[in-house]
């Protein structure tokens, strides 16, 4: 595309931002610059690239596109979502600093915070913002507030604007993991958040063939610090991973619409199913955070959590009994996945702590893919029947 992308809609930005035709050959798709180093015209004089840990043209295109979709000035890509998280926290929270984190987060985030950082001297409070107002949880001296919304796996919705107001009042910054909602349905920076983090492994890539992460932000000083650490630490994605994620972004909007359509139909069915105790879907009127979700989200994708009657043993058998839903960790791909958090994605959380925050032994998490919804429903019904 020629000219500015100002004023263009999301779908157009996803296809064109940061991706002009390659100037040498005219290639429409951004090439995979599989290169480690770049020729310099003279010492200290180059064409924008000198070493691929620092910058790579394929990564630059991806970062420009991601920033545009999230409404940020800058994006920095990393080799995984946890690499993005680690670099962000170490950049902006000094050793011994205090972090407030939601109590319901991805198990890998909890493991990093509680099992890696805490023993090294950082201080963490894991808070249920449903029962503890952010004005109480966030105290003077807090450096960072980390929230997922909707959360993983319980799909709680956190009031981003309220958390931001409480954090900024004491000089703390706010990072929002927007992996589940994606920028299609939620824009944390527009609600005042300082940083947005994604596991690009999930919906942004959408094809289960890449591991990656990204931090988006608009503050120039913070960007310069984080960019320095991205280069110094070096946990960056390779050009092939960047290319595949960039390709996936082109269909993000249409994929999310289909994820949402099928997810909503399965939610309505599960709510009426006799073998299901509870169902969580943020934009359904039955959800306790429905009003917050309506205020800060324009939709939701294909993530559903439900509690299966029968406990852990039945949950174990249930997730192994499906044929179309694949028993696997991760989410957000074109294929439907099923897992039990207590035994898989959140097994790093102590059993008593899992139960205390509401992750029941019978909890099932679905990532609803792009298969026909009638086939998905029949597949789940087969698992219900086989495990009775």
In contact, 342 and 153? CB cutoff 8 Å: no
Weakest mean pLDDT among 45-54, 87-96, 344-353: 344-353
Six-digit token string for 138: 């966030």
On the question of a cis peptide bond just before residue 150, with omega within 30 degrees of 0, the verdict is yes
Domains recognised in the chain with CATH numbers: 10-249 (3.40.640.10), 253-386 (3.90.1150.10)
CA dihedral 98, 102, 107, 111 (to 10 degrees): 10
The Cα 22–Cα 241 span in angstroms is 19
Residue 3 has pLDDT above 80, yes or no: no
Query: pLDDT band at 42, cuts 50/70/90?
Result: confident
Distance in angstroms (rounded) separating the CA atoms of residues 320 and 339: 9
Bridge partners for 306 per DSSP:
279, 364
- The DSSP-derived string for 217-235 is E--HHHHHHHHHHHHHH--
- Taking alpha carbons only, the member of 176, 180, 244, 178 closest to residue 209 is 244
Catalytic residue among 106, 110, 117, 203: 106
Average confidence (pLDDT) over 33-58: 92
Alpha-carbon distance 146 to 122, whole Å?
Answer: 14
Residue 263: what pLDDT?
Answer: 98
Cα–Cα dist 322/58, whole Å: 38
Angle between helix 373-386 and helix 311-320 axes, rounded to 10 deg: 130
- The mean pLDDT of 355-380, rounded to a whole number, is 95
Q: What mean pLDDT do residues 298-308 have? A: 96
- 146 has which bridge partners? 101, 175
Is 49 an annotated catalytic residue? Answer: no
d(CA 256, CA 185): 9
Catalytic residue among 177, 194, 222, 241: 177
Is the model's pLDDT at 2 over the cut of 80?
no
Residue pLDDT, tens place only, 125-175:
999 999 999 999 999 999 999 999 999 999 999 999 999 999 999 999 999
Query: Any bridge partners for residue 77, and if so which?
Result: 214
CB atoms within 10 A of CB 9: 8
Q: What is the largest CA-CA distance in the chain?
A: 73
Q: How many helices (H) and strands (E) does the chain have?
A: 15, 12
Least Cα distance to 145 among 115, 170, 174 occurs for 174
Cβ atoms 245, 200 nearer than 8 A: yes
Query: Does 53 qualify as catalytic in the annotation?
Result: yes
Summarised one tens digit per residue, pLDDT across range 229-264 is: 999 999 999 999 999 999 999 999 999 999 999 999
The whole-number pLDDT of residue 289 equals: 96
Structure tokens belonging to residue 276: 């299901």
> How crowded is the C-beta side of 244, counted as CA atoms within 13 Å?
18
Annotation says 114 is catalytic = no
Question: How many Cα atoms within 13 Å fall on the side-chain side of residue 159?
Answer: 19
CB-CB contact of 63 with 241 (8 Å) = no
Name the active-site residue from 59, 130, 202, 314: 202
Q: What is the pTM of this model?
A: 0.95
Q: CA-to-CA distance for 326 and 316, rounded, in angstroms?
A: 13
Whether 331 contacts 367, CB under 8 Å: yes
38, 53, 73, 128: the catalytic one is 53
């Amino acid at each position: 595309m020629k000219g500015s992308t100002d004023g263009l809609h999301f779908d157009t930005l996803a296809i064109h931002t940061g991706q002009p035709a390659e100037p040498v050959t005219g290639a429409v798709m951004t090439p995979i610059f599989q290169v480690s180093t770049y020729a310099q015209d003279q010492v200290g004089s180059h064409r924008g690239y000198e070493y691929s840990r620092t910058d790579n043209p394929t990564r630059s295109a991806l970062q420009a596109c991601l920033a545009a979709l999230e409404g940020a000035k800058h994006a920095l890509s990393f080799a995984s979502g946890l690499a993005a998280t680690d670099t962000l926290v170490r950049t902006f929270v000094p050793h011994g600093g205090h972090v407030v984190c939601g109590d319901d987060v991805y198990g890998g985030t909890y493991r990093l915070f509680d099992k890696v950082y805490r023993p090294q001297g950082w201080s963490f409070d894991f808070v249920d913002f449903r029962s503890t107002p952010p004005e109480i949880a966030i105290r003077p001296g807090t450096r960072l507030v980390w929230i997922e919304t909707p959360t993983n796996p319980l799909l709680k919705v956190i009031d981003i604007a309220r958390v931001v107001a409480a954090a900024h009042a004491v000089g703390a910054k706010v990072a929002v993991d927007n992996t589940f909602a994606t920028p299609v349905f939620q824009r944390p920076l527009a609600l005042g958040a300082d940083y947005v983090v994604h596991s690009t492994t999930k919906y942004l890539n959408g094809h289960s063939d890449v591991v990656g992460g990204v931090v988006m932000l608009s503050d120039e000083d913070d960007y310069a610090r984080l960019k320095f650490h991205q280069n110094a630490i070096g946990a960056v994605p390779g050009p092939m991973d960047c290319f595949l994620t960039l390709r996936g972004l082109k269909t993000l909007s249409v994929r999310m619409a289909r994820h949402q359509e099928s997810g909503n139909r399965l939610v309505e069915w599960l709510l009426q199913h006799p073998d299901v105790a509870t169902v969580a879907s943020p934009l359904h009127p039955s959800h306790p955070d429905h009003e917050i979700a309506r205020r800060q989200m324009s939709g939701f994708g294909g993530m559903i959590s439900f509690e299966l009657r029968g406990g852990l043993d039945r949950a174990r058998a249930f997730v192994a009994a499906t044929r179309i839903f694949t028993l696997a960790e991760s989410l957000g791909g074109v294929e439907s996945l099923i897992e039990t958090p207590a035994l898989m994605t959140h097994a790093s959380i102590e059993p008593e702590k899992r139960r205390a925050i509401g992750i029941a032994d019978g909890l099932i998490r679905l990532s609803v893919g792009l298969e026909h919804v009638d086939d998905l429903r029949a597949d789940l019904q087969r698992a219900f029947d086989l495990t009775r």
